[in-house]
Chain A
Amino acid sequence: MTVVALILVGIAAGVIGSSLGIGGGLIFVPALVLLLGFDQHLAEGTSLAVILPTAAVGAWSHHRQGRVVWRTALGVGAAGIVGAIVGSRVAFSLDGVVLRRLYAALIAVITIEMIIRSFRLGAGPQEQDPSPEDAVST
């Protein structure tokens, strides 16, 4: 049962991530907490363990297509390591319930941004991304 739920969550995250460009962490963490009863810290650690290999494969394929600007990536990535160590230490200094409420605040902000984006998309076809699929469907 748990395995089935995990596979379904993974599939949903893959579909949503590939089409809307939303990172898996926004899906894995709440799904693990709400559907599978994970504690907030364990959900976040498990989410990171999914993000790392996924990002590594993605970075490799982007690199082969020559899209990664490495000078920027190295600078931002190095600073990202420092930020990540500080951020994860702060996460462990907080109680799970406090961390979960902060996480809820983060996704509330992102949700508001998405509501605005969906209204913009719905406002008119001329504002949509002019990709070939859109040209066919609209």
Chain B
Amino acid sequence: MAIGLVAGFIGGLFGVGGGIIVVPALVLLLGFTQHHASATSTATIVASSGAALATFALEGAVDIPAAAVLVAGASIGAWWGAHHLHRISEVWLLRAFTAVMVLTVVRLVLV
């Protein structure tokens, strides 16, 4: 339950799912396999992101049309990734994404 409290708090504070906390915690603390951990984490994220979303919606801080377009794009991307991505090395994808993340941190601090 402590896992949920921490993950929910991070999720609610930062608008993220909380899988970054739940998945490793289930694997390392409860001995879950990676598959069971990520599946179980997805179910917990439904609950915690729903609760956080309710607060943001009450404060008027949700752009529903933008979210709808993002959902559509993410569905296309996930489908494409599942079918075609094995052609690209995971290492290089991770490196490219890491480089973007470094730039993002710098920009977020400087903006």
List the interface of chain A (C-beta within 8 A of B). 2-3, 6-26, 28-30, 32-34, 36, 38-39, 41-56, 58-59, 62-63, 65, 67-70, 72-73, 75-92, 99-104, 106-108, 110-111, 114-115, 117-118, 121-122, 128, 133, 136-137
Output the residue of B9, B15, B38 with the most chain A CB within 10 A: B15
Which residues of B have CB within 8 Å of A32? 66
Residues of A contacting B: mostly: helix
A9 touching B73, Cβ below 8 Å: yes
Contact partner of A49 (CB less than 8 A), chosen from B6, B14, B53, is B53
What is the 8 Å Cβ interface bit string for chain B, positions 5-49, against chain A (1 contact, 0 not)?
Answer: 111111111111111101100100010100110111011111111
Q: How far is the CA of A11 from the CA of B35 in the complex (A)?
A: 24
B: number of interface residues (CB 8 Å) = 84
Could you show 30 A-B contacts with beta carbons less than 8 Å apart? A2-B66, A7-B69, A7-B73, A9-B70, A10-B74, A11-B76, A14-B74, A18-B81, A19-B90, A21-B23, A23-B16, A49-B64, A49-B67, A50-B71, A59-B43, A59-B46, A68-B42, A69-B32, A77-B48, A83-B9, A83-B12, A84-B8, A84-B18, A85-B55, A88-B51, A100-B108, A106-B14, A114-B101, A118-B98, A136-B86
- Give the complex CA separation of A8 and B95 in angstroms: 20
CB contacts between A and B, total, < 8 Å: 349
Expressed in whole angstroms, the Cα–Cα distance for A52 and B73 within the complex equals 15
Out of A67, A102, A117, name the residue touching B39 (CB < 8 Å). Answer: A67
